[in-house]
Structure 1
Amino acid sequence: MWTSTKAILTLLCYSSFLANASFLDSTGSSNFNAHTARPRSHHAVRKAWSSRPQLHPRLPLSTASNSVQKIDSTTLQDINTLYQRRLTTIVSEVTGDITSIPSWLSSLGPDGKWPDSQINYTSGCDARRANWPAQTHWQRISTMAAAWHGGLAGAEKYVNDSSVRSNISLAMDYWFAHDFTDISCLASGGTPSCPCGTPGFWNTNWYSNNGRLTRNVQIILIPVFVSETCLLLNETLSPTQVGNCSNISLRAYGTFDHYVHGLGYLTGANTLDVAKVGIDQGILALNVSLITDAYQRIHETVVIEPTVKADGIRPDGSFSQHDGILYSGNYGKDLEFSTNDVLDLEIAAGGTQFEAGPESQNAFGTLLEGDLWMIYRNIRTQVVHWDFSVLGRFISFPVVDNQATGSTKINVSEIAALGKEWNSSVLTQVANSLLQNSSDANQGDIVGNRLYYNSDYMVNRGPGYVTSVKMYSNRTLNTECTNSQNPLGFHLSDGVVYTYLEGNDYEDIAAAWDWNLIPGITVDYGAIPLICDNTRLTGIETFVGGATDGTVGAAVMRYTNPVTRALSWQKAWFFLDDDVQHVMISHISSTSAAPVYSVLDQKRLNGGVFVDGVGTYGGNFSNPSSMWHGSVGYVFQPSNGSFSLSVETGYRTGNWSSIGTSTQPPATVDLFAAWIDHQNISTPISYTAFPSTDFGTFVLKSNQAQIKDIANDQNVSALFDATHNTAMIVFWNPAGGAVSFDFDGAFASLHVTSHSNAVVVYRLNSGNVTVSDPSQTLTQLVVNMSLGNGTKPKGWGNDSSKSLSFTLPTNGLAGSSVYQVLSG
């Protein structure tokens, strides 16, 4: 619940435009018209300022009210601290090409407009919806402003240059003169409220691209450029320019707590972006109320969000946006979105009255610590990237577009600085991990298994590789398609498995690959149209998730196609010690005529392909025992005619424009794809993968592995790793089930029962029993275990039976793992 001050502040900001009235000043009163935006004179401001404590000569001047708000000296010092730190951050994040500044200066017209041959200023309904070209106008202004202000590497000659400054003013004034004046165009362009033909610079699309990220044009994109640029220029702005800066910033800020057409209420990353606009405006106007309100909104956003499909930081360390889509790699982290916004603004607030409290600090640490597991390094380019499964629709961009696929865009030095400011060991550890060099994809050399139970996602990391599994349930969505980005992405959460080894494995292949053969999925090939309408779908099944003890784990997914209901299956991925991964597929049902495939991988071809030890360029193999390619080997259980192996290699070409809004030329990629053809879907199958192995190591390791399938049917999937004495069980049935283990004399036989669905991981050597409820519907779980005659595992003592009662986590922690250690 907002405070009364917050509610009044937001209402005044917003209603001033709805009523064609006036801006909010430092004290909450209004003083100039929204259209003319004419503030008081600089003379009045400077006169008032002369009586204030003498701080930095470029401390912002209050130009938002006729009477200067009384501010105590401590608060003034805090605002000055914010101001200096924000200036440094704004300049450091400018990405424009400073070598183009001379050409920008020479080509700018006397009216402040660049030639149409350079910038397409088409606005309104006729404007291009995605990647709105007109935004380039502000990209140039912001770069020139940073160069003029100082601190931009390589642009020293432009510092305080009068020609640069006058051209900045021309360009700003041109935009301001053509700014839309109908408040309905803020978010309702192209509707009866703001019909086509309404004058001014506006776009019908909520989201547009500024070369780095995707954001709302009128509420986020342009206001961020404007507020940051105006803060850099500060006291050199004319009164009219200050008014226009405030106009654009405050109408954006006024959208808080109001339903916005096409979006709803601002949440998550959008809240952080708009709050940042408010902070910069508050600093410029010395508006303490606005700064305080904006920081309060940030701190109320940087919290753990436990509810299903909530936007924001989840208890498991993931970040969701757009009603349950895993978006840690864009909204959770990408440049100037959530994480970097928090870094920028909290570093600015460090040590001041505006800094975050313990709740926000802990939540932010949870997010960053969760992020670490989701990244990998491309060892050929030495660039750190996000796992494709946390990028949502941004998979549709090539690296060169500098979108979320381009890199993590993590400011490590800011993480380290904030860790020091907050005395946070978590942030310091994250920064140290990100600074490490790596000779393989496993950035930071993180080893272990992690389940993101809020986002239906598991990551397993080991020496030389990173493997992820992305699923979805009735608590999450499959993906999204916005602005024609990612129209083919229906299968992107169907148990997608990426294994990164060199880091270029899947880079820039999405335009060319087969979207019906996404790595890891089980699919009725081609049976469903891959169109935008088949995204933003909530899953049907509840039993999706996994269990982990931090070292080993199991991801499980029951699946029913949410559109056709024609395909269903059960699948378990067991991540074992020594980097062994075992997959079980059972209970397949298909009512379509389409063939059912389980995809092993589809990635860049990297060297030879060997099936049963013999090199091949592709083909169909009726009874395969093994396959190896690109440092990943597979061993298959005997087929007995139930499945065959298909391998394809060769060049494929695709257009980026067919999967999104990128204007890059078509991509031609030499690809490798391999899949299992389920010729008899009633027969369950299993196979074992060995990542990060050369061919010789694969042969040796696969011969030494002792993985035994205990059960694999519609009720139970279970295995025993005899090398490490680990038993893993999936009870698929809501009523539970039973399974028996024969340990070939190493231990007494074991019988395990459960009265409800569950995942159980039992380490015989330590007595550790880890369990979870992937359905997230239970509060209690009872697992009964009994031994036959023979050697007892650790922790049994004189007992021959155990009844283990687990109190399961609920609410935001539902689906997470709990454990007991046997003793007796």
Structure 2
Amino acid sequence: MPPPPSRRTVLVAAVSALALSAPAPPAHATTADAYDTLRLTWRDLLLGTGFSPTTEPYAAKLAALGATARDLRATMAPTGGSLWPDLPYADPDPDTDAESYTYSGNLGTSYHRLRTMAEAYAQPGTGLTGDTALRTGILTGLDHLHGQAYNASRARYGNWYNWQIGIPQALLDIDVLLYDHLGATRVADHCAAVDHFVPDSAVASYTGTSTGANRVDLCRVLALRGVIGRSPAKLALARDALSPVFPYVTSGDGLHADGSFIQHRHVPYAGSYGAVMLGGLSLLFALLKGSPWEVTDSGRQIVLDSVEKAYAPFVLNGLAMDGVSGRAVSRGVQKADTRGIRQDDHLRGHGIIACVALLARSASAAEKARWDGMVKGWIARDHYSPVLSSPALGVAALARLKAVADGASPALAEPVGHRLFPGMDRAVHRRPGWAAALSMASKRITYYENGNGENLRAWHSGSGMLYWWGGDFANGQYSDSFWPTVDPYRLPGTTASSKALADGEGGAWGAARPDVRWVGGATDGTYAAVGQYLRGLSSTLLAKKSWFFLDDAVVCLGAGIHGRDGTGVESVVDNRNLGASGVHAFTVDGAPQPVTPGWSATLAGARWAHLAGHAGYVFPGGATVKALRQARTGAWSDINRGAASDPVTRRYLTLWFDHGTDPTWATYAYVLMPGASAARTSARAADTGWLTVLANTADQQGVRVPSLGLTGVNFWFGGTVGAVTVSVPASVMIRESGGTATVCVSGPLRDGAAIELTWSRPVSSVLAADPSVQVTATGSALKLRVTPGTLGAVHKAVVRLP
């Protein structure tokens, strides 16, 4: 087991300082002046160029930066063990892990406060630009912290991240901004301290805390140490140590060929650690471009490809989807954040967008044109939290984004289609006007990640949580204090036992993983069949869950729902955040229901329901479901010990199937229709020919939608459903259109076992087939032998129908 992963805030690590605009460095810097050139390039990366400090949004941000720095200078009081009274860093008991983490974190925050002051000193328009008293305060603070805590003779305590990444990054940024006032002694002392805590051995092997985003952060430290200390060896090491980050991996940390990004070995993390990695690489590529240490490893193309393959799929109308942001979803407003800036999916998205804009400077002309179009589209569509006034972005990032927004590239619309990410048990479905994302768990991927006191109650977020958003509505659904106020036992889409769980249940850093393999699906890139064999976290719950992602709907099936915990089991159709005072009419079979908070009902024989401004829900053949309107109050500190504790209240409409106490092989079926009107929902419920449920058992689950020519079946065991027979567990989706059919197959068990498939449908010829698909018969029936491999990939054949 590697040491615990780092506790990082997105505002510090992934947004505020990692996505800044860069000037083009001189094309032919000589070795003699290369260090000064790099230092000035980094200074421009930190401060930005090409903006007017007297115009918005820059003027307000610069004034706020100055006000913060003024307050920090006024409250700074150097004394033994602290630089600010509220941030003691002297560890009184090195044997107490919790206290060690707190004190090392306070030391890191102290350096970041000095960095804020240094930025206010260097930026124009702050009211403190070039202020000698401020400069004296910063230098006093640097000398104090160096003398007492961060020097070459001290041993580290608490969180490794503070000593190897957080502190040295802040320190070296300060050194760049105040370089002309440091003097040779300070420069030498600071370099010695960094060398002590971040020796070359920190990147000697690609393992433990030196992988993925952490490795990129360490390389940033080494590179800036090389710049400040004028060391060609450090710069070469930083460049070369990036190379292990580039190749695709087949398990664990890093980028996977299917677009998955994993950190901490088992956690989908494109929206947080992945953003840190992307931002760090965009900075380093920009810094070293044109220098003797330019990154030329051909593997860098994998990073460039990841923009559209691994990051853009999870950015929607400016937000970054929570299902790939790990414990970052629990952060809200951090106690140590003196600016009071919230953290949410939109602000994480803004950071990724700014990273893409900066990385475009290192991309080909064609890539840059596409990325500028994506960025421009995201900026135009984020009405919930406008990108160009984002509190998460600094002046330099905003200047870069404003240039893209004003540029000639046309804004690109959100794409449509389906993407499966078997490397991290995730799926994203996009249609005109709405999008959905699915989070699952397996032996490979955790239910949820907690650690450092963060994300303590997201126990069931990997139990089939189905997120969805509208094109121009409901884009604040998970942004508006969702995580501290939602009932954690009733996350939308999940099946869960109501057995009480402890904070951090199952262990930290992604340790909680179910002993199941069948998680995955099949897609043709437009529609999909996806399934999850669910075992409950710390419970006896079992369930088979399937989702069929279609044109205007998601068909959701559950079967084999079984538990013996002595508690109830529920499958949640939806749990919509209606805001602080939202009402939103709710009708069932056309009958309006009460809007009073606290209203609840058992809706027997319901055929359809509609929540105004959100969605329609259809229950094929009728069903008994429960509904509840509830005003829920919570605080971010309930789920994150480092977050602010002011309580917030949000209203919810929850709709669920109650399977009762200790259910035996219970089932459910419903159709989610995002954005549908009541009339369209009613019409869909009345159209009994639109959907045929072919099977909904613990052995197989399948549907047929004739109007789409679609058949989808998840075979938990081999067998026959409708016209499809398979020999072993598999996911199958067949789509007929215009005299052809596309047959898509995957082996979610990932054991490599060959899949023998028979489709009892006349087929005249095979038009195309993947190398892994062998056609053994056509004519009265199609027979295929699929060799699926072990990565959960989808294998296809296209056939002509008579």
TM-score, normalised to structure 2's length?
0.80
- Residue 146 of structure 2 aligns with an amino acid whose one-letter code is F
Match of 1:408 in 2: 349
Write the distance in 1 (CA, Å) between the matches of 2:80 and 2:567.
60
1:82 aligned to which of 16, 25, 38: 38
Kept in 1: contact 2:521–2:530 (CA 8 A)? yes
CA drift of 1:136 comes to 4.0
2:393 pairs with 1:450: no
Once the two structures are superposed, residues 197-251 of structure 1 have per-residue CA deviations (whole angstroms, 9 ceiling, x without a partner) of xxxxxxx244xxxxxxxxx211111111111111222242123311221133223
Match of 1:687 in 2: 670
Kept in 2: contact 1:719–1:727 (CA 8 A)? yes
CA drift of 1:77 comes to 5.6
Write the distance in 2 (CA, Å) between the matches of 1:355 and 1:76.
20
Distance 1:249 1:87, change over 3 A: same
Structure 1: gaps (5+ residues) = 1-58, 60-71, 190-203, 207-215, 378-383, 741-750
2:696 pairs with 1:752: no
Write the distance in 1 (CA, Å) between the matches of 2:283 and 2:706.
51
1:570 aligned to which of 530, 544, 547: 544
2:259 pairs with 1:287: no
Match of 1:32 in 2: none
CA drift of 1:132 comes to 3.5
Distance 1:533 1:572, change over 3 A: closer
Write the distance in 2 (CA, Å) between the matches of 1:440 and 1:774.
39
- Residue 218 of structure 2 aligns with an amino acid whose one-letter code is V
Write the distance in 2 (CA, Å) between the matches of 1:693 and 1:161.
58
- Residue 182 of structure 2 aligns with an amino acid whose one-letter code is L
Distance 1:787 1:180, change over 3 A: closer
Kept in 1: contact 2:203–2:215 (CA 8 A)? no
1:392 aligned to which of 305, 326, 340: 326
Q: Which has the higher contact order (CA 8 A, sep 6+)?
A: 2
Distance 1:587 1:412, change over 3 A: closer
- Residue 325 of structure 2 aligns with an amino acid whose one-letter code is L
Write the distance in 1 (CA, Å) between the matches of 2:104 and 2:484.
18
Write the distance in 1 (CA, Å) between the matches of 2:783 and 2:151.
71
- Residue 438 of structure 1 aligns with an amino acid whose one-letter code is R
SS in 2 for 1:491: coil
- Residue 522 of structure 2 aligns with an amino acid whose one-letter code is A
CA drift of 1:571 comes to 0.7
Distance 1:295 1:692, change over 3 A: same
Distance 1:474 1:119, change over 3 A: closer
Distance 1:717 1:108, change over 3 A: closer
- Residue 616 of structure 1 aligns with an amino acid whose one-letter code is Q
Distance 1:592 1:427, change over 3 A: farther
SS in 2 for 1:822: strand
1:345 aligned to which of 274, 278, 284: 284
Once the two structures are superposed, residues 511-545 of structure 1 have per-residue CA deviations (whole angstroms, 9 ceiling, x without a partner) of 12211111111112225445444552122111001
1:720 aligned to which of 661, 683, 704: 704
Match of 1:588 in 2: 561
TM-score, normalised to structure 1's length?
0.77
2:586 aligned to which of 609, 617, 620: 609
Please give the residue correspondences for 1:162-201 in structure 2 after superposition, counting only pairs within 5 Å. 162-180=132-150, 185-186=155-156, 189=157
State the Cα RMSD in Å.
Answer: 3.2
Write the distance in 1 (CA, Å) between the matches of 2:455 and 2:29.
52
Match of 2:68 in 1: 100
Kept in 2: contact 1:220–1:252 (CA 8 A)? no
CA drift of 1:311 comes to 1.1
CA drift of 1:804 comes to 1.6
Distance 1:683 1:650, change over 3 A: closer
Distance 1:113 1:787, change over 3 A: closer
Kept in 2: contact 1:758–1:772 (CA 8 A)? yes
1:624 aligned to which of 583, 596, 606: 606
2:658 pairs with 1:677: yes
Write the distance in 1 (CA, Å) between the matches of 2:307 and 2:153.
36
SS in 2 for 1:303: coil
CA drift of 1:619 comes to 1.2
Please give the residue correspondences for 1:777-788 in structure 2 after superposition, counting only pairs within 5 Å. 777-778=751-752, 780-787=754-761
CA drift of 1:110 comes to 7.9
SS in 2 for 1:767: strand
Match of 2:770 in 1: none
Write the distance in 2 (CA, Å) between the matches of 1:180 and 1:419.
36
Write the distance in 1 (CA, Å) between the matches of 2:384 and 2:555.
21
Write the distance in 1 (CA, Å) between the matches of 2:304 and 2:88.
40
Please give the residue correspondences for 1:142-161 in structure 2 after superposition, counting only pairs within 5 Å. 142-149=115-122, 152-155=123-126, 158-161=128-131
2:381 pairs with 1:438: yes
Distance 1:439 1:360, change over 3 A: closer
Please give the residue correspondences for 1:185-584 in structure 2 after superposition, counting only pairs within 5 Å. 185-186=155-156, 189=157, 204-206=158-160, 216-254=161-199, 256-257=201-202, 264-307=208-251, 310-333=252-275, 337-352=276-291, 353-377=293-317, 384-398=318-332, 401-403=341-343, 405=345, 406-410=347-351, 412=353, 415-423=356-364, 425-426=366-367, 428-436=369-377, 437-438=380-381, 444-501=413-470, 502-507=474-479, 508-526=481-499, 528-534=501-507, 536-561=511-536, 563-564=538-539, 566-577=540-551, 579-584=552-557
CA drift of 1:385 comes to 2.4
CA drift of 1:258 comes to 7.8
- Residue 170 of structure 1 aligns with an amino acid whose one-letter code is T
CA drift of 1:171 comes to 1.4
Match of 1:801 in 2: 781
Match of 2:402 in 1: none
Match of 2:794 in 1: 817
1:652 aligned to which of 606, 612, 632: 632
Percent identity among equivalent residues? 22
1:772 aligned to which of 741, 746, 759: 746
- Residue 545 of structure 2 aligns with an amino acid whose one-letter code is K
Once the two structures are superposed, residues 673-692 of structure 1 have per-residue CA deviations (whole angstroms, 9 ceiling, x without a partner) of 11111256434331111112
Once the two structures are superposed, residues 783-813 of structure 1 have per-residue CA deviations (whole angstroms, 9 ceiling, x without a partner) of 112237xx99997998211112233244xxx
CA drift of 1:106 comes to 4.5
The structure whose Rg is larger is: 1
SS in 2 for 1:177: helix
Write the distance in 2 (CA, Å) between the matches of 1:762 and 1:305.
30
Distance 1:730 1:441, change over 3 A: farther
- Residue 175 of structure 1 aligns with an amino acid whose one-letter code is L
Please give the residue correspondences for 1:26-105 in structure 2 after superposition, counting only pairs within 5 Å. 74-76=30-32, 79-92=35-48, 97-105=65-73
Deviates more, 1:598-607 or 1:92-101: 92-101
Match of 1:213 in 2: none
CA drift of 1:143 comes to 2.3
Write the distance in 1 (CA, Å) between the matches of 2:352 and 2:571.
39
Moved over 6 A (4+): 93-96, 110-115, 439-443, 791-798
Kept in 1: contact 2:742–2:798 (CA 8 A)? yes
Deviates more, 1:72-81 or 1:651-660: 72-81
CA drift of 1:707 comes to 1.2
SS in 2 for 1:596: strand
Distance 1:683 1:652, change over 3 A: closer
Kept in 2: contact 1:479–1:489 (CA 8 A)? yes
Write the distance in 2 (CA, Å) between the matches of 1:181 and 1:114.
15
Kept in 1: contact 2:90–2:103 (CA 8 A)? no
Kept in 2: contact 1:278–1:291 (CA 8 A)? yes
SS in 1 for 2:534: strand
Deviates more, 1:82-91 or 1:459-468: 82-91
Write the distance in 2 (CA, Å) between the matches of 1:138 and 1:625.
60
Write the distance in 2 (CA, Å) between the matches of 1:360 and 1:130.
38
Kept in 2: contact 1:302–1:364 (CA 8 A)? no
- Residue 268 of structure 2 aligns with an amino acid whose one-letter code is L
When the two structures are aligned, how many residues end up with a matched partner?
Answer: 691
Write the distance in 2 (CA, Å) between the matches of 1:522 and 1:413.
37
- Residue 330 of structure 1 aligns with an amino acid whose one-letter code is S
SS in 1 for 2:707: coil
2:582 pairs with 1:600: no
- Residue 295 of structure 2 aligns with an amino acid whose one-letter code is E
